[in-house]
Chains A and B, each alone.
Chain A
Amino acid sequence: MDKPGTALLVMGCPEVPTQTSVVLYLANKLNKAGIDVTVAGTDAALKLTKVADPEGFYIKKLADVDETIAEMAEKKADFDLVFAFMHSDAGVVYAATIAALSQAKVFALVFGKNAEALAGTIEFPAEKVVAKATHNPTPLKNKLDKALQQQVIA
């Protein structure tokens, strides 16, 4: 694969605190690698990132997740990398949808109390990054760092 130029970070329901923290961390890391980052999510998930990053220092582009899927379905948008965050069945369903619509290399970031069991339900092609992280983002961050190193992104 050529050096990736674009990445989509797909946030799931923001009820697990780990997500927003790791999204900001990952966006920063990808920015530093020269990758154009778009973060998509629900209204609440987007507001959490906006408040945490009011100047848009880490996240330059925000998008509604359903509108992003519509754009991808109409073949008006695609990305080189997709990082899909999930801690519930609905998160897996959204990630499967995006994986089916995209040519991107997909990373499935699975976290929360039932991370291992949930990861077992993923059948679409994706590199799984799994950590039983709910309040403490470090286990997910560490596993993500390893996955990124293998991709020579960071």
Chain B
Amino acid sequence: MSCIEQMKYDLLLERISFKEAREYIEKNSDEVYYVNPGYKIFKDYYVIGVPPVAIGAKGEDLIFTYVKPCHGTFVMKIKSPEEIERLREKEKKKVMESLKKGGKSDDAAESPAASYQDLWKK
């Protein structure tokens, strides 16, 4: 069991498809960041998801997907300014690296994909 289930969380959506969860996060967050599956949040949760995986920030809340094999996808929110800051820093770093390379980034793990298909083409 991941540490997330022992944290104070709110369930925003339950037992939906991953696609619906991503759309919800994109529509209901102030900021949206895209990470690859396996991105670690909190102490030990490695994000499960179809890339690009959307993680949202709204105020101090981190909004993210949580997938359980027998129950589908959940959208959760947990108050975590630290995780939001980490995402912002990661994004800044990515932009800076991209500028240094003349606007081109060859790091698939760090580049946000324009679409799902683009990510697999890299």
B38 at the A/B interface (Cβ < 8 Å)? Answer: yes
Q: Are A72 and B67 in contact, with the CB atoms below 8 A?
A: no
Q: What per-residue 1/0 map shows which CB atoms of A12-30 lie under 8 Å from chain B? A: 1111000000000000000
Q: Are B51 and A73 in contact, with the CB atoms below 8 A?
A: no
Q: Are A94 and B70 in contact, with the CB atoms below 8 A?
A: no
Q: What is the interface size of chain A, counting residues whose CB is below 8 A from a CB of the partner?
A: 28
Q: Which of A83-91, A109-117, A140-148 contacts B (4 or more CB under 8 A)?
A: A83-91
Q: Are A94 and B38 in contact, with the CB atoms below 8 A?
A: no
**Range, interface on chain B:** 20 to 34
A66 at the A/B interface (Cβ < 8 Å)? Answer: yes
Q: A13 with B2: in contact, given A96-B50, A97-B49, A100-B36 (CB under 8 Å)?
A: no
A124 at the A/B interface (Cβ < 8 Å)? Answer: yes
Q: A90 with B37: in contact, given A100-B51, A123-B120 (CB under 8 Å)?
A: no
Partner of A97, one of B38, B68, B73: B38
Partner of B73, one of A14, A44, A65, A90: A90
What distance in Å separates the Cβ of A131 from its nearest Cβ neighbour in chain B? 20
Q: Are A96 and B37 in contact, with the CB atoms below 8 A?
A: yes
Q: Are B48 and A89 in contact, with the CB atoms below 8 A?
A: no
What distance in Å separates the Cβ of B2 from its nearest Cβ neighbour in chain A? 7
Q: When chains A and B are docked, how far (Å) is the Cα of A137 from the Cα of B50?
A: 28
Main SS of the interface on chain B?
loop
Q: Report 30 cross-chain contacts, Cβ distance below 8 Å, ordered by A residue.
A: A13-B70, A42-B69, A42-B70, A44-B70, A45-B69, A66-B2, A69-B48, A72-B38, A89-B17, A89-B72, A90-B69, A90-B71, A90-B72, A92-B18, A93-B48, A93-B49, A93-B73, A94-B48, A94-B67, A94-B69, A96-B51, A97-B37, A97-B48, A97-B49, A100-B37, A100-B51, A123-B50, A123-B120, A124-B50, A125-B120
Which 4 A-B residue pairs are closest in the complex by CB-CB distance? A73-B38, A13-B70, A97-B37, A96-B50
Interface of B with A (CB < 8 Å)? 2, 17-18, 36-40, 44, 46, 48-51, 67-73, 116-117, 120
Given A14-B70, A100-B51, A125-B120, list of 16 further CB < 8 A pairs? A12-B69, A13-B70, A15-B70, A42-B70, A69-B38, A70-B46, A89-B18, A90-B73, A92-B18, A93-B18, A94-B67, A96-B37, A100-B37, A101-B38, A123-B116, A123-B117
